[in-house]
Amino acid sequence: MKTALISVYDKTGIEGFAGDLVALDFKIFASGGTAKALLDAGIPVEDTASLAGGGSILGHRVVTLSREIHAGLLAKDNKEDREELSKLKIPFIDLVCADFYPLEEEIKKAEATRESVIEKTDIGGPTMVRSGAKGRRIVVCDSGDRTKVIKWLKAGEPDREKFINDLAAKAEAVVGRYIVQSAEYHSEGRYKQIFGEKFLECAYGENAYQKPACLYSSDVGRPNFGRPTSDELAIYKWVLVAGNPMSYNNICDLDRMMQTMTHIGAGFEKNFGFIPFVAIGVKHGNACGAAAGDNPVEVIEKMLTGDLRAIFGGSVMLNFPVDEKIADELIHKYSGEVRRLLDIVAAPSFTPEAVEILSRKKGKCRLLMNPAILKAGLSSFDTAKRFRYVRGGFLTQPNYTFLPDMSKCLFDTKIIGDIMLAWAVGCTSNSNTITLVKNGRLAGNGVGQQDRVGAAKLAIFRADEAVLEMQKVVGVPLGTPTTKSTKLADLEGAVAYSDSFFPFPDAPELLIERGIKTIFSTSGSVNDEKIIELCKNKGVNLVLLPDAEARGFYQH
């Protein structure tokens, strides 16, 4: 008869697991609360206190931390160790199933105290798990592994060495992560950890010579495993409907698109109480097209006309389902005789007809599905801390969670909607950025510049280039030109967003000359008064929020 030791805080489903072990001829030892739960379920069990020399002490706080239990877990499976255990009347423990007190949950509580955290710090559970891992026992510290272990036992323990080693490695990782939670809390952030489990190995990183490149999930491998992560938009929860496996750059683009999408949704939800249909087109992480509205087909059209050239080979994210009509618009609208090639289309769902239309030869268009992106807004904001490698260490900061409140602005809803779209695109594009929006459509995005004038010029240039590209396809300019030249975009009455303050009036002057009537920026420049006076004299709306509160630098 083999022996199993079970000691779990979360007893959900433990009766079924223990019953399966008994059916497989295991004798069960369990700690106090677990033993009671199993006995109540009619499962034969002995209390671990009967193994511990002298029984439990200190109000049952010290039971499993005994020489006898750890000898049963650490003894080698050989004649000498087994004979010694037999003389001491200590069973050889073949399997240990344990989870830990919910330390992480306690730390997250607003009312948590040092005393409450210490009380929820498990010692016996992690120690048993580590002893079991070192002793190369069957270690079950994830409730999701119980069914797998039972199936493996019933199958005759195939490939035993690898199976046991994988469980041991997981056990060490779980204990390591658990302990670091305590270190972070008690050191008040002096010590910090980045922990993850490999979910996907990419062919390479940003460039072909950067191998290996992997996606690690910070949700897989957490304590209390059987429970789903609270973040339904986690990268690993996107389902690949069609196309090749995700590349490193694909994953980066997907993450960036989710930031832009959720910022748009949250901005509209906070200021209007609803989330519109949204389509964004991205190249190298930055939006080259974006639109919001009440008609999905029109939104697709507006998004595409943001930059027909850049969207070719780019990625798209939608917050509405993709059917045959939407798919056809994405591929053929304004594409002339050439089929538009896309690298990623991410959406809540796809019909079979849409999958057929969007798919490319050799799987070069990845179709990604996640219902959680459907009208994603305030509840979908990413609030986890951000990490960034720097040589010799890493940086950490809170996430990008600022949301402007436009309730005090006496603009009509159309202008506020354009402000929200411009802000959301601009503050999730590489700084420095100036973003132009008109009528719910991204007109031009001037990203990653070293000065505000350069960003303004680039935004206008990209708006004009979008018109030239449209002329090639349909033969007419986009909108009515503001000058005699048919090569210029119609920016009359458009909104401009700047992700930080203007140090001089030169960039606002460029924007105003092209017809911009509303500028959303921050204050903090020594020349704020000059910029305010310029906008007053030109009849331009100027919205300024403090730079310390509203600066929108991203991936700086």
Instruction: Tell me which of 123, 151, 186 is where a domain ends.
Output: 186
The pTM is what? 0.89
Q: How many domains does the chain have?
A: 3
Positive or negative torsion for Cα 227, 231, 232, 236: negative
CA angle 544, 550, 556 (to 5 degrees): 125
Which pLDDT value is given to residue 229? 57
Residues 174 and 262 in one domain: no
The pLDDT, as a whole number, for residue 220 is 52
Task: Give the pLDDT confidence score for residue 112 in this predicted structure.
Answer: 94
Q: Count of H helices and E strands in the chain?
A: 19, 20
Assess whether 457 and 376 both reside in one domain: no
What are the C-alpha distances in Å from 338 to residues 332, 333, 363, 473? 8, 10, 18, 10
The answer on 9 and 130 residing in a single domain is yes
Same domain, 256 and 149: no
Let me know if residue 213 belongs to a domain: no
C-alpha count within 13 angstroms, C-beta hemisphere, residue 491: 33
**pLDDT given for residue 225 in this prediction:** 43
Q: Is residue 63 part of a domain?
A: yes
pLDDT at 49: 81
Torsion angles phi and psi, residue 505, rounded to 5: -75, -5
Return the CATH number at 469: 3.40.140.20
Q: What residues have CB less than 8 Å from 226, skipping those under 6 apart?
A: 10, 12, 13, 142, 143, 144
**Which pLDDT value is given to residue 65?**
77
* Cβ contact 184:191 at 8 Å: yes
Measured CA to CA, the distance from residue 493 to residue 484 in angstroms comes to: 18
DSSP state of 520: E
Residue 206 lies in a domain: no
Closest CA to 445 of 291, 334, 294: 291
Break the chain down into helix, strand, coil percent, rounded to 5.
40, 20, 40
Q: Three-state SS for 195? A: coil
Structure token pair of residue 340: 């538009």
- Residue 370 vs residues 121, 169, 514: alpha-carbon distances, Å: 36, 31, 40
Asked if residue 160 and residue 288 are part of one domain, the reply reads no
Structure tokens at 150: 């039972």
Cβ atoms of 242 and 366 within 8 Å: the answer is: yes
Strands of the 138-140 sheet, one edge to the other: 46-47, 26-30, 2-7, 95-98, 138-140
- pLDDT of the residue at 471: 84
Please give the Cα distance from 515 to 495 (Å, whole number). 9
- Is 443 in contact with 460 (CB distance < 8 Å)? no
Regarding whether 276 and 179 lie in a shared domain, the answer is no
CB-CB neighbours of 166 under 10 Å: 13
Matching residue, tokens 């511990």: 52
Please tell me the predicted confidence (pLDDT) of residue 270.
Answer: 96
Same domain, 163 and 111: yes
Residue 540 to residue 533: CA distance in whole angstroms: 10
Q: What are the helix (H) ranges across 24-63?
A: 32-40
Pairing type for strands 518-523 and 495-498 reads parallel
Nearest Cα residue to 236 out of 207, 281, 196, 264: 196
Angle (nearest 5°) at CA 324 between 477 and 312? 45
One domain, residues 155 and 13: yes
Q: Which residue has the tokens 């100036």?
A: 434
Same domain, 326 and 297: yes
Per-residue pLDDT of the chain (556 residues), as tens digits, is 899 999 999 999 999 999 999 999 999 999 888 999 999 999 999 988 888 766 666 666 676 778 889 999 999 999 999 999 999 999 999 999 999 999 989 999 999 999 999 999 999 999 999 999 999 999 999 998 999 999 999 999 999 999 999 999 999 999 999 999 999 999 999 998 888 888 899 999 999 999 999 999 887 555 444 344 578 999 999 999 999 999 999 999 999 999 999 999 999 999 999 999 999 999 999 999 999 999 999 999 999 999 999 999 999 999 999 999 999 999 999 987 788 999 999 999 999 999 999 999 888 999 999 999 998 999 999 999 999 989 999 999 999 999 999 988 888 899 999 999 999 999 999 999 999 999 999 999 999 999 999 999 999 999 999 998 888 887 655 554 444 455 589 999 999 999 999 999 999 999 999 999 999 999 999 999 999 999 999 999 999 999 999 999 998 8
Q: Which domain holds residue 17?
A: 2-186
Whole-number Å distance between alpha carbons of 276 and 265: 7
Residues 6 and 134 occupy one common structural domain? yes
Residue 217 belongs to a domain:
no
* CATH number of the structural domain spanning residue 158: 3.40.50.1380
The answer to whether residues 134 and 176 belong to one domain is yes
pLDDT for position 50: 82
Label the pairing between strands 239-242 and 95-98.
unpaired
Judge whether 77 lies within some domain: yes
- Token pair in block for residue 373: 């992106």
- Residue 145, classified by CB atoms within 10 Å of its CB into exposed (0-12), middle (13-18) or buried (19+), is buried
pLDDT for residue 118: 93
Is there a domain that residue 378 lies in?
yes
Residue 109 inside a domain? The answer is yes
DSSP assignment of 462-474 equals: HHHHHHHHHHHHH
List the beta bridge partners of residue 344.
315, 366
Q: Say how far apart CA 358 and CA 339 lie, in whole Å.
A: 10
In a domain, 44, yes or no: yes
Residue 305 and residue 167 share a domain:
no
| DSSP annotation string for 117-172 | HHHT--SHHHHHHHHHHHTT-EEE-SGGGHHHHHHHHHTT-TTHHHHHHHHHHHHH
Where a domain ends, among 353, 383, 413? Answer: 383
Q: How far apart are CA 460 and CA 446, in angstroms?
A: 8
User: What sign results for the dihedral spanned by CA atoms 301, 305, 308, 313?
Assistant: negative
Q: Measure CA of the first residue to CA of the last residue in the chain; give whole Å.
A: 62
